[in-house]
Amino acid sequence: MKKTHLFLSMFVMLFTGSFMTACAQQKAKTEQQIEEDRSRDQYIQSMDILSNVIGNVRMYFVDTVNINKMARRGIDAMLGGLDPYTEYIPYEDMDELKLMTTGEYAGVGAIIAQRPDSSVYIQSPMQGMPADEAGLIAGDRILTIDGKDFRKSTTPLVSQALKGVAGTIAKVTVMRYGETKPRTFAVKRRKVIMNTVPYSGMLDGSVGYIRLNGFTDKSAEEVRTAFFDLRDKKGAKSLVLDLRGNGGGLMQAAIEIVNLFVPKGKEVVTTRGRSAESAAVFRTLTEPVDTKIPIVVLIDGQSASSSEIVAGALQDMDRAVLMGQKSYGKGLVQTTRQLPYNGIIKLTTAKYYIPSGRCIQRMDYSQANQTGMATTIPDSLHKVFYTAAGRPVEDAGGILPDIEVKQDTAATLLYYIAVNNDVFDYVTDYFLRHKSIGQPETFSITDQDYAAFCRMMEEKKFDYDRQSGKMLEKLEELAKIEGYLPDANAELKALREKLKPNLARDLRRFKKEIMNHLNNEIVTRYYYERGSIRQSLPDDKVVKEAVRLLRDEPDRIARILSAPKSTPKK
């Protein structure tokens, strides 16, 4: 009897447990179905309203309306409220997507920009591309293209006119700086390939350097080629991979670049989203080129997306030392889906997780603050993860470098000089007056050149925003409201005198920084982007610290990448 009661009791318990589990599953399924039904009803209702709104505008609005433009504005506003990365790309803009993914397009190969007077000019012809070979130079103001007037235009319209079928001729008429008669150039369009490795070279006798500017379907091969050249031909014993300012690109390119330096079969990134198809695990698929060479990866606040996958994966695998500043914090994945009329939608479909399991997404676009802006994920919600060796790392809204090297704070004056048209014209004038200059690493304008530059800036009455003066005005207002103004008048007056705008003084105070900028801009005219990088490297404090670490402190590298003395439990 006792055995029978025991058996019955166990049976009842098992049945009850199974029944409760089934009920819970049914409840969850029911709630999910209710939510799906609600979502479907909302979708049908929204589409009905939207269709009727457009129909009423088309039929009854007082003026004729371009429905396509109105719909495009609505689509852009709708998607813009989700996050900055989700967007609609119509068929006519497909070249931009191709450029982002392949680094290729058919055109003349020139970067253009617009001035406040609505004129568009050549900002920088690409080395060896049609515009460069035809003789167009930076500063040339575009007047007409194939006979069509572009004296007052926009960069998108001019860009569209310069692009075209490879092999066709673009007749470009420009006004060159300092001249009064236009020049016309016949530029033969061809496939333009934008290299994502603009420069690689040796920093000293043993340290190789690769600058990577983006992630396209050719980036991994470019890095591979540069690496073999540095290691096998130039004798590099260690490597600096510079990802600063690299905003990302194709995730697959990031995986392939990681694969160059870690064994086959390693997990690099995992994606997870709402749909089942967004969940995937990506591993290295081929044999690496070198798993031993010491590597330092440079990152900063503009290193994002695929840059963070490369840096974060190499950090999580204890394969490279990260140096610089905290990265941007973009842990989202975009995929494209086909739309009617050959358009596509680039849609955020998942978050990605690097090998330690962390997602480094910084912004929460589902939550908005009082001003309607997305909120930053608070520090209190950050979690600790561990690398393969057991080193603690955080999902800290970005990748934290193993060695932080802070950049020097630039004066506000330098920003305004960098974007000032008169400064651009000064560089153009210098280029036209000098047929050649010295090597990028050693070139510098003279003190006489700088004195002439300062005179020009004063004659042009160069003005720039002075944040300190604005802050002082706010401080005086607050002091007045709070009743401190009478007693603080003397101190505020003295501070006002010290902060009084004085262009001549500021040009003297920041002479070194301004000369560095002018030198770099001038070098770029002669040696293009490659020369610009060469010119900046000798004074780059982050690069110098990376070289010192790789050359002189191998033991420190080993300590950084090794397990802590007491390895935490995972």
Per-domain residue ranges of the chain:
104-193, 199-333+352-404, 412-552
Specify whether 305 is catalytic.
Answer: yes
Phi/psi at 201 (nearest 5 deg)?
180, 180
Tell me which residue has tokens 């004066």: 411
| Amino acid 378: pLDDT | 79
- The one catalytic residue in 159, 330, 356, 506 is 330
- The one catalytic residue in 303, 305, 307, 356 is 305
> Distance between CA atoms of 530 and 176, rounded to whole angstroms?
25
| Amino acid 17: pLDDT | 58
Specify whether 316 is catalytic.
Answer: yes
Nearest partner of 373 among 75, 86, 84, 85, judged by Cα? 84
CA 408 to chain centroid, in Å, comes to 20
Per-residue pLDDT of the chain (570 residues; tens, 9 = 90+): 555 554 555 544 554 556 566 655 666 667 778 878 888 889 899 999 999 999 999 999 999 999 999 999 999 999 998 999 999 999 888 877 877 788 888 999 999 999 999 999 999 999 999 999 999 999 999 999 999 999 999 999 999 999 999 999 999 999 999 999 999 999 999 999 889 999 999 998 899 999 999 999 999 999 999 999 999 999 999 999 999 999 999 999 999 999 999 999 999 999 999 888 899 999 999 999 999 999 999 999 999 999 999 999 999 999 999 999 999 999 999 999 999 989 999 999 999 999 999 999 999 888 766 666 778 887 777 899 999 999 999 997 899 999 999 987 777 888 899 999 999 999 999 999 999 999 999 999 999 999 999 999 999 988 876 666 667 677 777 777 777 777 777 777 777 776 666 889 899 999 999 999 999 999 999 999 999 999 999 999 999 999 999 999 999 999 999 988 765 554
| Amino acid 7: pLDDT | 53
> Distance between CA atoms of 97 and 91, rounded to whole angstroms?
10
| Amino acid 96: pLDDT | 76
| Amino acid 2: pLDDT | 54
Residue 246's Cβ-count burial label (10 Å; 0-12, 13-18, 19+) is buried
Per this entry, what is the length of the chain? Answer: 570
- The one catalytic residue in 316, 395, 402, 506 is 316
State the CATH architecture for 199-333+352-404. Answer: Alpha-Beta Complex (3.90)
| Amino acid 39: pLDDT | 82
| Amino acid 329: pLDDT | 95
> Distance between CA atoms of 166 and 312, rounded to whole angstroms?
40
The Cα-based distances of 140 to 143, 147, 231 in angstroms read: 9, 17, 41
Pairing of strands 238-242, 207-211: parallel
State the CATH architecture for 104-193. Answer: Roll (2.30)
- Specify which residues 105 forms β-bridges with: 192
> Distance between CA atoms of 104 and 216, rounded to whole angstroms?
9
Nearest partner of 383 among 348, 353, 350, 349, judged by Cα? 353
